[in-house]
Amino acid sequence: MRSLSAPAVRITSRPPPQQPLVQDLSDSSNSNSSFYQQTQRQEASSGNLVLFNQVQEHQQEIQQLRGQIEELRHQLEQLRRQSQQQYLDIEDRLMSSGPTQIEQSTPAVEPEAAEEVVNAPSRSNVSEDAQADYQAAFAHVQARRFDEAIAAFDAFVTDHPDTSLTANGHYWLGELYAAEGELDAADQAFSRVIDDYSGSSKVPDAIYKLGLVKARKGEAELSRELLERVRDDYPQSSAAGLPMTFAPISGLIFLIYFCFRESA
């Protein structure tokens, strides 16, 4: 009896169909967005750090400036007191002395200028008219009639150009013009004493006062040079003992000082 057997069936398995490669753009977009946000946060953080450092630097600079302002304020107060004392001394001399005594108390000329002093005109060449005109002009100063004093001293130096008091006349013109705020005229008057009457005992005072005038005009460097010149060339003069601490201060500080002094 024949046996029946079922034919063998070859079963082959096929791989499942491949899924199409699809990029999840939504995830990529989120990733990029996150990256950009992180970058922006880093940039913002870096910018904040730079800004913070700048603020710190500015604060340090402000502290330094405040310290300098306090130092200048202290110097200005010292100068105000010294200047006030100086002018009180001049006030006492004006009220208690006549012109002759005042002129005799002016600073002595340094040994370096001894040769010039020998050639300087003596008091004996002052005529009675010149002496009278000088005393009349000085009386206006004592009375605080500055306009009249300017006119009188101007007439004096014009009428008596070669006496031993002529330099003093130009010097007082400088003082009076400076008091009236006519700085260019004061500059010219003090310069006249320095340039044309180098042997006069008024030269150290004229150099010093010219330095103050230059400062008021904002010419700080010229002012410093003049003040140092008084100290170096006439160390024994009374002008050399006057305040020199404001020599390095700028012209603006000078202006503040004089405005403060004159308003006090």
Query: DSSP secondary structure string, 89-106?
Result: HHHHHHHH--HHHHHHTS
Range in 103-117, 125-139, 163-177 the model is least confident about = 103-117
pLDDT (average), residues 200-206: 93
What's this model's pTM, rounded to 2 decimal places?
0.53
Q: Please answer whether residues 260 and 76 qualify as being in contact, where contact means their C-beta atoms are separated by less than 8 angstroms.
A: yes
> How many angstroms separate the CA atoms of 74 and 240, rounded?
22
Residue 242: DSSP 8-state? S
pLDDT (average), residues 163-192: 93
Angle at 188 between CA 85 and CA 200, to 5 degrees: 65
pLDDT band at 85 (very low <50, low <70, confident <90, very high): low
> How many angstroms separate the CA atoms of 81 and 257, rounded?
11
pLDDT of 107 strictly over 80: no
pLDDT band at 134 (very low <50, low <70, confident <90, very high): very high
CA 255 to chain centre: 8
pLDDT band at 171 (very low <50, low <70, confident <90, very high): very high
pLDDT (average), residues 209-231: 90
pLDDT band at 263 (very low <50, low <70, confident <90, very high): very low
> How many angstroms separate the CA atoms of 145 and 232, rounded?
35
> How many angstroms separate the CA atoms of 93 and 160, rounded?
25
Q: State the maximum Cα–Cα separation within the chain, in Å, rounded to a whole number.
A: 183
Say what angle helices 25-96 and 128-142 make with each other, to 10 degrees: 130
> How many angstroms separate the CA atoms of 94 and 153, rounded?
16
> How many angstroms separate the CA atoms of 200 and 117, rounded?
7
> How many angstroms separate the CA atoms of 256 and 158, rounded?
36
Q: Please answer whether residues 169 and 200 qualify as being in contact, where contact means their C-beta atoms are separated by less than 8 angstroms.
A: no
Could you give the 3-state DSSP secondary structure of residue 231? helix
pLDDT band at 133 (very low <50, low <70, confident <90, very high): very high
> How many angstroms separate the CA atoms of 32 and 27, rounded?
9
pLDDT (average), residues 254-262: 46
Looking at residue 29, its pLDDT comes to 54
- Chain segment 24-80, per-residue pLDDT in tens: 555 555 555 666 666 666 666 677 777 888 888 888 888 888 888 888 777 767 766
| Dihedral class, residue 144 (left if φ above 0, else alpha if ψ from -120 to 50, else beta) | left
Looking at residue 143, its pLDDT comes to 86
Q: Where is pLDDT greater, at 4 or 207?
A: 207
Structure token pair of residue 212: 């103050």
Mean pLDDT (the chain, rounded): 72
Q: Where is pLDDT greater, at 231 or 108?
A: 231
Looking at residue 81, its pLDDT comes to 63
| First CA to last CA distance, the chain | 149
Looking at residue 96, its pLDDT comes to 52
pLDDT of 120 strictly over 50: no
Architecture of domain 75-263: Alpha Horseshoe (1.25)
Gyration radius from the chain CA atoms? 43
> How many angstroms separate the CA atoms of 236 and 204, rounded?
10
